[in-house]
Amino acid sequence: MKLSQRPVVEPAPEQPARLPVGWDRPWLAPLAGYSDLPFRCLCREEGAACCVTEMVSAKGLWHDGLNTWKVLETVPWDTPLVVQLFGAEAGCLGWAVRRLREQGFAWFDLNMGCSVPKVARQGAGSAMLRDPDNALACARAMIAAAEPGHVSFKLRLGVNRDSVNWLDVALRLEDAGAGLVTLHPRTAQEGFGGQAHWEAIAEAKRRLGIPVLASGDLFAAEDGVRCLKETGADGVMYARGALARPSVFKEHKALLRGEPAGKEIPAGELRRLIRRHMELIGRFGSEDNALYRLRSIVPRYVRSIPGVRLLRQRLCACQSLGELDGILDAFLAGSLAGAGGACGQGGSARLDKFDPPLPSCGDSSLPDREHEPWK
């Protein structure tokens, strides 16, 4: 594929010399299939201090995969931006960082936490914790290719409860020159089930001299603030909580100022967030693409409101953004009548009833070729 065909919207924005880390500077986590350019822009408007891209395949970059480069679409105000890479070959990861720096990107993260089989089968993601020596070789290759302190690492506790080795790996990453680490305190085997072990985040903060960001079970601003107070982490990274309500970032900051935050999501707030998301998707793509994306995005905002199944049916049949707009208004007003029962009830959702979708991992365009010309 020729360079001119790469779908970068504009040149990568100028990145800051330091990333914003602090209790009042919540981040948007890397969410494969979700944290694309429109969603990042929405989250920034809602108070996200920093955003991380969807997971990017280092091999996909080498093979110039269209879908891989599309993940890196950006605009000048999409900053600060961290590019999260995945892979298990040190030479490829180092090459990828150098290539991305040529494109204007400056901050990088290595995924050591994704447990999806498609990624783990390559020895990448959480499977890297099975081979700490190779994981450290990959880390050193990325660190050597970047500016000092510009590479971070997202970890799980280990592959399973019998092989919890995150602390040893984290200490070695710090010695290698890591800028910060993010800990999702579950094992790969646990996936997103059960309860996150926040006590491990507290231990990470006690044992490491570099910043520690907390992840895991941060469904609402109250969870993020409580996690900070219980663990002493340097900051939080919202994932599933942001999917349900991008305004979680400004609500997080409000809580730190002592302002109350309710669990109810008013219909008007839902309408505003969804409408803005619609506008951003339309701005960065065709109406057909926007309509396709919104059919899956809208239900996740309102999934705790009765009648979502009927809403999905109506969305799949709509033919324009204007029609989608009307369907959404009717749903939030509680008047989307039809087979399948009542819906809407005034359009108020509860955060504590939210059953979030599990973020997927992986790149649908992973190359099959095995040669390694980056060596």
Catalytic residues: 114
**With contact defined as beta carbons under 8 Å apart, do 151 and 179 qualify?**
yes
Q: Which of 288, 195, 277, 198 is nearest to 243 (CA)?
A: 277
Q: For 189-196, which contacts have Cβ atoms below 8 Å and span 24 or more sequence positions?
A: 189/115, 189/159, 189/160, 189/161, 191/115, 191/358, 192/240, 192/358, 192/359
Q: For 33, which DSSP code?
A: T
How many angstroms separate the CA atoms of 198 and 212, rounded?
12
How many angstroms separate the CA atoms of 170 and 343, rounded?
48
**With contact defined as beta carbons under 8 Å apart, do 208 and 175 qualify?**
no
Q: 20: which 2 tokens?
A: 């914003």
Exposure of 226 by Cβ count < 10 A (0-12 exposed, 13-18 middle, 19+ buried)?
middle
Positive or negative, the CA dihedral 37, 39, 45, 48 is negative
SS3 271: helix
Q: CA geometry: angle at 17 spanning 12 and 23, to 5°? A: 105
Q: For 149, which DSSP code?
A: T
